[in-house]
Structure 1
Amino acid sequence: MSEAIRSGELSPEDLLTAALARYNAVNPKIQAVNMLHETYARNLLAQRRVAGTSSQGALAGVPLLFKDLNTTLQGTITSNGSRLFKDSPPAERTSTLIARYQQAGAVPFGKTAAPEFGLTTTTESLAWGQTHNPWNLAMSAGGSSGGSAAAVAAGIVPVAHATDGGGSIRIPASYCGVIGLKPSRYRTPSGPQHFEGLFGASVANVVSRTVRDSALFLDAGQGHETGSAYWCAPLERPYVDELQRDPGKLRVAVVRRSLTGAPLESAIAATLEQTIKHLSALGHELDELTLNIDPRQLFGAHGTVIGTAVRAQIQDREQVLGRAATAQDLEQITRVNLERSQGTRGEDLYRARQTFESIGATMEQQFDRYDVILSPVTGSLTPTLGLLSLDQPWDSYVGHAMGSAGFTVLANVSGQPAISLPLGMSDNGLPVGMMFTARLGGEDVLLRLASQLEQTSPWADRRAPV
């Protein structure tokens, strides 16, 4: 798209018109986009036309959707998937990462749906309804970046912004058959309001159709943000250049067992075996690995941090409104999380942060022996809509959630980059993703391997029937 803009073959207005046409055709079916900002986009294009900058930047003219969760666009509302925030005031500033995409030429024109505060692995909320999987409209698109993944899978845009605090990029990427790269902690900016999410467990990037586009957006978005105490040092060369480099003979560790103990569904186990054979045929060395991670420590620390963050966000909103949040403002599972976090002490948060660091160090030691770790993204295929919604009793929710985040949360707590690649399909036509994890700062290794797999096991021709 951006090359066509620079050559004069297409105009940015052409691309926006095409994206809006596709939105009008498919969004009523999938409900991936919950807010449209067409006026903002057209004003931006008019300003660039007057300034003569319409064809500038690596993302010149590319229409962009971004996630409606803790991410802002000046003059527009961010609802965080919650009725409590649907009437919040328009943002005074644009989030740094979205501003960087815009500076590279992208054209934000809408937001994608997310569950309330990103608290579940499906994209369903009482505020906005259900986001449907483009491969099967009865199924979930995953979460919490399900709106973004569904929008890309349905062809509204080739790339959409997403965030990941426990698997929220990789899970919907797997369920929707697209690529989802969770970058290293502090690789991309989280400001300007806050410089890290969930002690660094939550990071932002994109979901896309091609490895090239994931690398291109990582180049546009990465780098230190003024005011942030932490950042991940960039490579000496652009990530898009990594795609031309041979990954070499990699030492690959295979992790088969979820930290929740949930068994693998047959289609996921079969895709894992196919991926192992494929990697072996490409000349990579494979070895079995059992991770020495205490799941109670991992999920306990992660839950403590998330619960406290959500409580603080709700309390800030209550102060603005001058009243307490009610059952009409918050969903059932959110209210349970709020209640459970009430007794969290400063010492609990301090120990949770220490757990993040100790688990991160344990994981880094694995990369003294291995270049990447291969595992499923999830233990189960995408569920039907409703099973993982936040509007249900706690016991039923927990029972259904066991198979969804047992592999992904680890990289959030430990900080390593991890990517979901669409390497399989189930017999009933649902995508299956496989996850590769590398050492901190190892996005280059992941992108080189992803490019090799994309070339030797292409997925571009697999398109969602919607």
Structure 2
Amino acid sequence: MPADRRNHDATALAAAFAAGNTDPVEATQAALDRLERLNPALNAVIHPRPERALAEAGEASQRWAERRAASSDHDGMPLDGVPMAVKDLGCEQAGEFHHAGARFLVDLEWRGTLDSHLYRLLRDAGMISVGRTNTPEFGTTITTEPAAYGPTANPWDLTRSPGGSSGGSAAAVAAGIVPVAHGNDGGGSIRVPAAACGLVGLKPTRGRVSTAPRLGEHRGGFAVDGMLTRTVRDAARCLDVISRPAPGDPYVAPPLEPGASFADALVTPLPRLRIAVSTGIPNRASEPVRRATEQVASLLDGLGHRIETDTAPDGWFSPDIADQMIVVRTVGMAAEVAGWAERLGRPMTPDDIEPANWWSAELGRSLPASAYVQALEELARWRRRVMSFWDPSPFGRPGTPGHDRWDLLLTPVLADVTPPLGYLSDPLDGARRIADLAPFVNQANVSGQPAISLPTAHDPDGLPLGVQLHAGHGNEQILLAIAQQIADAGGLIPLGDLPLELP
């Protein structure tokens, strides 16, 4: 496998457009050819759009030809003409199928009625969707096995889960169909599939990416959109594209300095950082996962950072937050089901919704409104408690003496290796298995802070393992800077030709 992921990323592809070595039509056609060849085995892309993608690629090719003729640069569109994929949950596209993994929407052949703010930003940047990707129903689990479309396979091993809920997007990127893909994260749904498929998965700060115009406080404020990428530099450039607030957003992340970009963080000198490391309560993480986390901690120590093991914010692993999240999520599911009943003008029934989500909606309907408000207040108190752990501004700090806050927290993404398909969707034990596997991801959704999953090791079967770094509220720059430093030091596993033969 190639040692350098940068040979296969969106940034390299855009540079090839600028040099005239290829063009968006050729690149998009190549992506569609790979989609046709690989997708039958993966089931990653469920709504291809070849004709529209090629038409948009023609427009992008013309723009690049005009730039080359004028000896100009990318005109503020550094990813113009790059093929991508869009998760079939959120990121609505007018006229495109939008089924959110739900059987009743498949039966209705439901289509988006508008372009979301996020999709407009992607299109305005010139990025070209080759199709929409598979997701579990309403994105409520960390594997991608909806009854509506069937399971998506992990490109590293077709018997394994690609993670979820952005598993279709992760599989498409890992298999090389597209270099980047949209995802969203309301409970690890970007970071988990990134870890399972060997990708970089950045969950932005709450409010960094707008959910306008359809959604407001999405999933109690837990959920945020982002991108799955092959490289850290693509993660930075994609965040520059999509981090534009819309009027009336309920949350707005701290803005960058005027004229600054997230891509700037890749070349910004890092101070010596204070990094806490935790693998959770004893015996929560498996031995391969602990070794992967310790390996990254050792690398960071060798790079000159101050490392302290077995350290985490007070209450970070408290079971109380899981109890309150159940209230918020089940009430949210009840509201989602009720919303569809209103839009369709008929009651929803158990025949419409998968059993686990129907049960969740039923529980949510049974709870009083006061329980929801109390849960949000309890989570707000927890959030204030844990956020005092982080330094608010690591860049430009004049040294570490007397410094009593932390810059980063390093943890696993999952507590064990990537499970086989069917393991997490088991109707009897699936919920318990998910709870056992994912004790490290929900915290950043509740706190709203950014976190990034990095593929730094292989499990005993040769599949990727991910670790994640958390930064303080609004500090994606420090995450991108440290992630790039890890990548430059050879800390990311190779990603190119996969260790299996896809048909």
TM-score category, normalised to shorter length: over 0.9
Contact 1:59/1:101 (<8 A) preserved: no
Distance in 2 between the 1:26 and 1:248 partners? 44
1:108: how far off? Answer: 1.4
Does residue 50 of structure 2 align to residue 30 of structure 1?
no
Query: After the TM superposition, which residues 220-231 of structure 1 pair with which residues of structure 2 at under 5 Å, given as runs?
Result: 220-231=241-252
Does the residue aligned with 1:328 lie in a helix, a strand or coil?
coil
1:8: how far off? Answer: 2.9
Instruction: Give the TM-score taking structure 1 as reference length.
Output: 0.94
Distance in 2 between the 1:380 and 1:255 partners? 15
Does the residue aligned with 2:388 lie in a helix, a strand or coil?
helix
- Counterpart residue number, 1:10: 22
Once the two structures are overlaid, the 10-residue window that deviates more, 166-175 or 94-103, is: 94-103
- Counterpart residue number, 1:65: 85
Once the two structures are overlaid, the 10-residue window that deviates more, 406-415 or 295-304, is: 295-304
Distance in 2 between the 1:387 and 1:421 partners? 24
Instruction: Give the TM-score taking structure 2 as reference length.
Output: 0.87
1:381: how far off? Answer: 0.9
Question: For each residue in 1:31-59, what CA deviation from the matched residue of structure 2 results, as whole angstroms up to 9, or x when unmatched?
Answer: 11111122332343455678889865221
- Counterpart residue number, 1:253: 276
1:417: how far off? Answer: 0.3
Does residue 260 of structure 2 align to residue 240 of structure 1?
no
Q: 2:235 aligns with which of 214, 217, 237?
A: 214
- Counterpart residue number, 1:275: 296
Once the two structures are overlaid, the 10-residue window that deviates more, 217-226 or 288-297, is: 288-297
* Change in CA separation of 1:320 and 1:98 when aligned onto 2, cut-off 3 Å: closer
Distance in 1 between the 2:173 and 2:15 partners? 20
- Counterpart residue number, 2:427: 392
Contact 2:239/2:262 (<8 A) preserved: yes
Question: For each residue in 1:199-254, what CA deviation from the matched residue of structure 2 results, as whole angstroms up to 9, or x when unmatched?
Answer: 32100110111000000000011022122142113212111111012222110011
Aligned length: 461
The letter for the 2-side match of 1:257 is: G
* Change in CA separation of 1:285 and 1:70 when aligned onto 2, cut-off 3 Å: same
Query: After the TM superposition, which residues 302-451 of structure 1 pair with which residues of structure 2 at under 5 Å, given as runs?
Result: 302-368=325-391, 369-389=405-425, 392-393=427-428, 396-451=429-484
Q: Which runs of 5+ in 1 are unaligned?
A: none
Distance in 1 between the 2:270 and 2:467 partners? 18
Which 4+ stretches in 1 moved above 6 angstroms? 49-55
Distance in 1 between the 2:64 and 2:235 partners? 27
Contact 2:220/2:332 (<8 A) preserved: no
Distance in 2 between the 1:54 and 1:346 partners? 58
Question: For each residue in 1:305-344, what CA deviation from the matched residue of structure 2 results, as whole angstroms up to 9, or x when unmatched?
Answer: 2222222221222234343333332212112111211122
When the two chains are superposed, the root-mean-square deviation of aligned CA atoms in Å is: 2.0
Does the residue aligned with 2:456 lie in a helix, a strand or coil?
strand
* Change in CA separation of 1:54 and 1:217 when aligned onto 2, cut-off 3 Å: farther
Contact 2:449/2:470 (<8 A) preserved: yes
- Counterpart residue number, 2:311: 289
Does residue 54 of structure 2 align to residue 42 of structure 1?
yes
Distance in 2 between the 1:360 and 1:462 partners? 36
Question: For each residue in 1:391-425, what CA deviation from the matched residue of structure 2 results, as whole angstroms up to 9, or x when unmatched?
Answer: 613xx122211233210000000111000000111
* Change in CA separation of 1:226 and 1:53 when aligned onto 2, cut-off 3 Å: farther
Does the residue aligned with 2:211 lie in a helix, a strand or coil?
coil
Does the residue aligned with 2:172 lie in a helix, a strand or coil?
helix
Question: For each residue in 1:3-62, what CA deviation from the matched residue of structure 2 results, as whole angstroms up to 9, or x when unmatched?
Answer: 222333322111110101111121111111111122332343455678889865221100
Query: After the TM superposition, which residues 163-242 of structure 1 pair with which residues of structure 2 at under 5 Å, given as runs?
Result: 163-236=184-257, 237-242=260-265
Query: After the TM superposition, which residues 95-114 of structure 1 pair with which residues of structure 2 at under 5 Å, given as runs?
Result: 95-114=116-135
Does the residue aligned with 1:124 lie in a helix, a strand or coil?
coil
1:71: how far off? Answer: 2.5
Contact 2:170/2:193 (<8 A) preserved: yes
Contact 1:222/1:234 (<8 A) preserved: no
- Counterpart residue number, 1:461: 494
Distance in 2 between the 1:230 and 1:402 partners? 28
Contact 1:165/1:202 (<8 A) preserved: yes
Once the two structures are overlaid, the 10-residue window that deviates more, 42-51 or 228-237, is: 42-51
Does the residue aligned with 1:230 lie in a helix, a strand or coil?
coil
Distance in 2 between the 1:215 and 1:412 partners? 20
* Change in CA separation of 1:290 and 1:219 when aligned onto 2, cut-off 3 Å: closer
Identical-residue share of aligned pairs (%): 34
Question: For each residue in 1:161-214, what CA deviation from the matched residue of structure 2 results, as whole angstroms up to 9, or x when unmatched?
Answer: 110001000011001110000011101111111133123210011011100000
Question: For each residue in 1:76-126, what CA deviation from the matched residue of structure 2 results, as whole angstroms up to 9, or x when unmatched?
Answer: 121111102222532221111121011011011201111011111100011
Contact 1:140/1:385 (<8 A) preserved: yes
